[in-house]
Amino acid sequence: MGRKRKNGEANETMVLDETEGVSSEELVQRIIQAAGHTSQSLGIGRVTGQIYAHVYFSIEPQSLDDLTKGLGISKGSASMGVRQLEQWGGLEKIWVKGDRKDYYRSRDTFGKIIKNAIVDLIGKRMEISSALLGDVEKELSASGKKNADLTEEQEFVRQKLRGILDFQKKSETIWDGFIVKMLK
Amino acid sequence: MGRKRKNGEANETMVLDETEGVSSEELVQRIIQAAGHTSQSLGIGRVTGQIYAHVYFSIEPQSLDDLTKGLGISKGSASMGVRQLEQWGGLEKIWVKGDRKDYYRSRDTFGKIIKNAIVDLIGKRMEISSALLGDVEKELSASGKKNADLTEEQEFVRQKLRGILDFQKKSETIWDGFIVKMLK
DNA sequence: TGCTACGTTCAAAACGAATTGAACGCTGAA
DNA sequence: TTCAGCGTTCAATTCGTTTTGAACGTAGCA
């Protein structure tokens, strides 16, 4: 790797030298990029994954400053990302006495972290949809009692709704199972 | 949320009159909104869910024109949404002889539809991340053979990487199980 | 007390994804 | 053949989300 060595900068090209091995520093840089890509495509945001990967592959606990320098992100982004990851149990804060900075180290209970993130993000979103359908279900049963005989259209809607509601119940069961397995 | 207001469709507030029933038309409109919300929060896009819901609750097969009018979306959006839903098996095209329009009716195999959508969207995204990690794994084992003794840092990275790769394998298994269940 | 180094906040900017709609090609009818 | 009506495309635009960075509050220290 007769490449530039200095600060972990200039990792844009990602060109691999097939004949030679890759330094672990380069490897880590690539994984950080990959983590950013992954977290972004999961709707969590790019920096979140990058921050976690950076800390995960750092022997020493990392400060906000280390993150802004190491990842080239702003102090604001670092602050927010770190807090989110802390809430999900991905990072834990380390107090170093005599040092006013906050330091973070990673926790490697991936399952729990992801479960927390999923519940936090997807779960909240699903709840809203669920609630909306729940309202509809109430309307449905209420109108069912009032009108013994429905128009053809009403009956059609009724039947279609039933189909959705049934599927929703089934989905929730599967989803819960998924979460449980992830947690283990 | 702030959406384009068409002709006095005053269904924005979603306030329910507790004492009276709700017309099935209103109910359907609300479900269409909910479907849009759901599909959007799943990263599929708002119109996709709206289109499917609209067709699902229509007795007659629906044309692109019906969709643009009924949902207040552009012809382009309708065309693209319909095609995507067709690919996922959510809609099927109906030929009406003597009519040059394409008509669509919904299929109600929710599980299959969602499975196709998930595989198409999430799967593709995961593949990229997987591939990146796969590359890394290769590098890892390659460098492992060359250097019998590693620096402390290299060994650290190595160990951390192993943790991720293990988790990845486990995740894939769970994920596959999830897909299978959804399909049933 | 004033000073410095830190983390947090949030309005604004940058960014990217969704949506539009005019232009286009195609097809069937006349 | 031309024409009208249809679906498709994609550059431009709109819209929502993410990121920035200056301003701010706070805590430790002399």
B37, B129, B182: residue with CB nearest A174? B182
> Which tokens in the block code for residue A41?
């495509």
* Strand order, beta sheet including B62-63: B62-63, B102-106, B91-95
- Tallying the residues shown for chain B, one arrives at 184
- pLDDT bin (cut points 50, 70, 90) of residue B73 is very high
Contacts (Cβ under 8 Å, ≥6 apart) of B7: none
B21, B33, B132: residue with CB nearest A143? B21
Q: For residue B13, what pLDDT is reported?
A: 39
- pLDDT bin (cut points 50, 70, 90) of residue B3 is very low
Distance from CA of B139 to the nearest CA of A (A): 7
Measured from Cα to the C1' atom, the residue closest to C18 is B45
The DSSP annotation for B141-184 comes to HHHHHH-SS--HHHHHHHHHHHHHHHHHHHHHHHHHHHHHHHH-
A139, A174, A177: residue with CB nearest B27? A139
CB A134 within 8 A of CB A172: no
- Ramachandran area for residue A145 (φ above 0: left; ψ -120 to 50: alpha; else beta): alpha
How many residue pairs from chains A and B have C-beta atoms closer than 8 A?
119
- Tallying the residues shown for chain A, one arrives at 184
CB B162 within 8 A of CB A41: no
Distance from CA of B100 to the nearest CA of A (A): 27
Identify the residues numbered 57 to 76 in chain B whose C-beta atom is closer than 7 Å to any atom of strand C.
Answer: 72-76
Residue pLDDT, tens place only, A19-46 = 466 778 888 999 999 999 999 988 899 9
Q: Cβ–Cβ of A126/B41 closer than 8 Å?
A: yes
C-alpha torsion sign, points A23, A29, A32, A37:
negative
Mean pLDDT of B106-133: 86
Supply angle C-alpha A7, A11, A12, rounded to 5.
Answer: 145
Q: For residue A18, what pLDDT is reported?
A: 46
Residue pLDDT, tens place only, B57-67 = 999 999 999 99
Residue pLDDT, tens place only, B13-23 = 344 444 466 78
Rounded to whole angstroms, the distance from the CA of residue B105 to the C1' of nucleotide C30 is 32
Q: What is the domain partition of chain A in residue ranges?
A: 24-108, 111-183
CATH of domain B24-108: 1.10.10.10
Mean pLDDT of B16-36: 78
Q: For residue B129, what pLDDT is reported?
A: 79
Task: Give strand ranges (E) for chain B.
Answer: 62-63, 91-95, 102-106
Query: Is nucleic acid strand C under 7 Å from B145's C-beta?
Result: no
Nearest to B70 by CA among B47, B45, B38: B47
- pLDDT bin (cut points 50, 70, 90) of residue B148 is low
Q: For residue A16, what pLDDT is reported?
A: 42
The DSSP annotation for chain A comes to --S--SSS----S----TTS---HHHHHHHHHHHHHHHHHHTTS-HHHHHHHHHHHT-SS-EEHHHHHHHH---HHHHHHHHHHHHHTTSEEEEE-TT--SEEEEE---HHHHHHHHHIIIIIHHHHHHHHHHHHHHHHHHHHHHH-SS--HHHHHHHHHHHHHHHHHHHHHHHHHHHHHHHH-
Q: Select the more confidently predicted residue: B126 or A64.
A: A64
Q: Cβ–Cβ of B174/A174 closer than 8 Å?
A: no
- Asked whether the predicted pLDDT for residue B81 surpasses 60, the reply is yes
Tokens 């119109």 sit on residue? B47
Contacts (Cβ under 8 Å, ≥6 apart) of A11: A26, A29, A30, A33
Residue pLDDT, tens place only, A132-152 = 888 888 887 877 766 667 788
Radius of gyration for chain A, computed over Cα atoms and rounded to the nearest angstrom: 24
The list of chain A residues with pLDDT below 50 reads: 1-19
- Asked whether the predicted pLDDT for residue B5 surpasses 90, the reply is no
CA A40 to CA B155: how far, in whole Å?
A: 29
Mean pLDDT of B75-94: 97
Q: For residue A182, what pLDDT is reported?
A: 85
In a 10 Å sphere around its CB, with 0-12 CB exposed, 13-18 middle and 19+ buried, how is residue B108 labelled?
A: middle
